[in-house]
């Protein structure tokens, strides 16, 4: 299920999952479920971050080319 | 017939209001000779009479004004007073309230200047609250000055160097002589009507007091004061002050300074924009790095990176530990039982009759059963003596008991 939550919301959820797992009071079953969710969110976050980085690089490059044109 | 009689107070008040209602009498210059000079040291107020050949008038100069004098008035001095005329209600005394005092011989122009300045200031024409702020990036500047001479050249050079983006509306005028004031009034009127300029610069280069006199015109000051856009007045050198300087929204010490004040420096603005660009990039990268760091921290948790270890391994470890504990517990139990058994065995062994026999004792049996008491035996019984290494069949010869 694709959820359209923003990066900050996803990150928060990831942090909460890690906290729960680290606390150690989850059953085996819960642990596995949390782990699965955590991996999903983690993959999603990584994707968002990577595309953001890409966008920043593209904008910076485009701006440098604009400057060259003016000069 | 009824005659309407006023009280003296009513009459005095009425006359006083007549005097104070006349604006000419509220700022007027008068010249004459000081006499009957009295300085009330306690209050600091000065009281004297100003007279000439034909007339005299009583005068008072209050302490707040008298404080500013840079000379001591004396009887016989010829002076020019600037102040107002009124009436002291209590005694009906018609007085001149002096605000400024000049020794006669002070330049006529200087006096005129002071008088005009005083009057317009009282009207509120120079109020700070009326001053307009200059626009940051003017698009069009009206320049009202002579089209010959250094002033206009300097202004145009500086404007084109600092902010070539703006347009200049050149309004050539006479800046001295009888045409100066009419020219400037006309130019300002036209600029106001066109209404397409952001700022007006009005002024001229240096000169004598007479040369600069047009810029002390009351009419010009009033015209400047009603400008819809900010006006910068730039007359003469740094030390020259004109009435137009006070009426304008900003005084520039020189025409060149006016150009510098009117527009920003495009190089500085460009540098500022570059700085903002850098700050933008820094902020964006900073935000990315922060988000990335937070994410890395969370996703690097060993619970996500090594789940088998954390989720399964941990539990296996628990099981192992419990198993160890169980084993250890069982071992302890067995050991303790073992040693108990060992103890009992040893005790049993120690009590065993066979042990007794091995120490050299024997025991008696009759007909297969053990005999433990002599009273169980009679003469002639067939008994068996059992030893560790064998036995002997015997017959009882005599039996004796310990008691009788």
Q: CB–CB of B295 and A49 under 8 A? A: yes
Q: CB–CB of A11 and B295 under 8 A? A: yes
Q: Are B148 and B187 in contact (CB under 8 A)?
A: no
Tell me the Cα Rg of chain B: 63
Chain A residues with CB-CB distance to B314 below 8 A: 24
For residue A3, give how far its alpha carbon lies from the nearest alpha carbon of chain B (Å): 18
ipTM summary value: 0.84
Q: Is residue A1 over pLDDT 50?
A: no
Enter the DSSP assignment of B209: T
Retrieve residue B311's tokens. 């989720």
Retrieve residue A52's tokens. 């953001």
pLDDT of A11: 93
Chain B residues with CB-CB distance to A42 below 8 A: 295, 298-299, 304
Chain A residues with CB-CB distance to B277 below 8 A: 63
Q: CB–CB of B304 and A38 under 8 A? A: yes
Threshold 0.95, pTM exceeds:
no
Closest residue in A to B312 (Cα–Cα): A28
Q: Are B71 and B105 in contact (CB under 8 A)?
A: no
pLDDT of B191: 97
Q: CB–CB of A22 and B301 under 8 A? A: yes
Nearest alpha-carbon partner for B368 in B393, B396, B390, B347: B393
Length of chain B as a residue count: 404
Identity of the residue in B281, B284, B298 whose CB atom sits nearest the CB atom of A15? B298
Q: Are B141 and B197 in contact (CB under 8 A)?
A: yes
Nearest alpha-carbon partner for B61 in B93, B101, B118: B101
Report in angstroms the alpha-carbon separations of B9 from A53, B12, B20.
89, 5, 16
- Residue B369's φ and ψ, nearest 5 degrees, are -105, 150
Alpha carbon B240 to chain centroid, angstroms: 38
Identity of the residue in B277, B299, B307 whose CB atom sits nearest the CB atom of A35? B307
pLDDT of B130: 94
Nearest alpha-carbon partner for B194 in B244, B232, B140: B140
Q: Is residue A3 over pLDDT 60?
A: no
pLDDT of B245: 96
| Greatest CA separation for chain A | 65
Identity of the residue in B285, B295, B314 whose CB atom sits nearest the CB atom of A45? B295
10-39 in chain A: CB under 8 A from chain B: 11, 14-15, 18, 21-22, 24, 28, 31-32, 35, 38-39
Of residues B362 and A53, the one with the higher pLDDT is A53
Between CA B278 and CA B283, with CA B279 as vertex, the angle to 5 degrees is 120
Q: Are B73 and B49 in contact (CB under 8 A)?
A: no
Q: Provide the residue-wise pLDDT of chain B in tens; the chain has 404 residues.
A: 678 899 999 999 999 999 999 989 999 999 999 999 988 888 889 999 999 989 999 999 999 999 888 888 888 888 999 999 999 989 999 999 999 998 876 677 788 898 899 999 999 999 999 999 999 999 999 999 999 989 999 999 999 999 999 999 999 999 999 999 999 999 999 999 999 999 999 999 998 888 899 999 999 999 999 999 999 999 998 888 999 999 999 999 999 999 999 999 999 999 999 999 999 999 999 999 999 999 999 999 888 888 888 888 888 888 999 999 999 999 999 999 999 999 999 998 888 877 777 778 888 999 989 898 989 999 999 999 988 888 999 999 998 988 75
pLDDT of B116: 92
Which residues contact residue B335 at a Cβ distance below 8 angstroms, ignoring those fewer than 6 apart? none
């Amino acid at each position: 299920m694709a959820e359209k939550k923003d990066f900050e919301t996803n990150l928060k959820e990831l942090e909460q999952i890690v906290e729960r797992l680290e606390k150690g009071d989850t059953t085996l079953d819960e642990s596995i479920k949390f782990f699965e969710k955590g991996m999903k969110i983690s993959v999603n976050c990584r994707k968002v971050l990577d595309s953001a980085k890409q966008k920043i690089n593209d904008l910076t490059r485009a701006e440098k080319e604009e400057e060259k044109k003016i000069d | 017939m009824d005659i309407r009689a006023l009280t003296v107070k009513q009459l005095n008040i009425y006359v006083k209001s007549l005097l104070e209602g006349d604006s000419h009498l509220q700022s007027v210059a008068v010249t004459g000779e000081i006499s009957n000079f009295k300085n009330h040291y306690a209050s600091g107020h000065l009281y004297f009479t100003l007279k000439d050949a034909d007339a005299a008038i009583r005068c008072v100069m209050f302490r707040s004004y008298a404080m500013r004098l840079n000379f001591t008035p004396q009887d016989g001095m010829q002076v020019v007073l600037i102040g107002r005329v009124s009436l002291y209600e209590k005694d009906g005394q018609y007085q001149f309230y002096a605000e400024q005092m000049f020794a006669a011989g002070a330049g006529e122009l200087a006096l005129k200047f002071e008088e005009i300045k005083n009057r317009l200031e009282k009207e509120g024409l120079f109020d700070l609250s009326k001053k307009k702020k200059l626009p940051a990036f003017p698009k069009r500047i009206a320049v009202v000055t002579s089209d010959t001479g250094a002033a206009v050249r300097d202004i145009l050079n500086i404007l084109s160097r600092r902010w070539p983006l703006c347009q200049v509306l050149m309004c050539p005028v006479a800046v001295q002589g009888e045409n100066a004031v009419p020219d400037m009034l006309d130019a300002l009127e036209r600029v106001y009507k066109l209404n397409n300029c952001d700022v007006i610069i009005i002024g001229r280069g240096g000169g004598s007091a007479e040369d600069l006199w047009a810029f002390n015109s009351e009419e010009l000051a009033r015209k400047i004061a009603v400008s819809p856009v900010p006006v910068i007045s730039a007359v003469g050198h740094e030390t020259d002050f004109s009435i137009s300087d006070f009426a304008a929204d900003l005084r520039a010490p020189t025409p060149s300074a006016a150009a510098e004040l009117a527009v920003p420096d495009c190089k500085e603005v460009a540098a500022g924009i570059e700085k903002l660009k850098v700050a933008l990039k820094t902020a964006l990268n900073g935000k990315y790095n922060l988000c990335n760091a937070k994410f890395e921290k969370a996703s690097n948790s060993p619970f996500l990176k090594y789940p088998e270890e954390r989720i399964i391994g941990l539990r296996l470890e628990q099981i192992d530990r419990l198993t160890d504990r169980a084993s250890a517990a069982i071992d302890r139990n067995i050991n303790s039982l073992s040693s108990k058994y060992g103890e009992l065995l040893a005790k049993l062994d120690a009590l065993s009759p066979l042990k007794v026999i091995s120490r050299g004792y024997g025991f008696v049996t009759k007909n297969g059963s053990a005999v433990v008491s002599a009273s169980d035996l009679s003469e002639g019984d067939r008994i068996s003596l059992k030893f560790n290494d064998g036995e002997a069949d015997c017959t009882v010869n005599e039996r004796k008991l310990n008691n009788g």
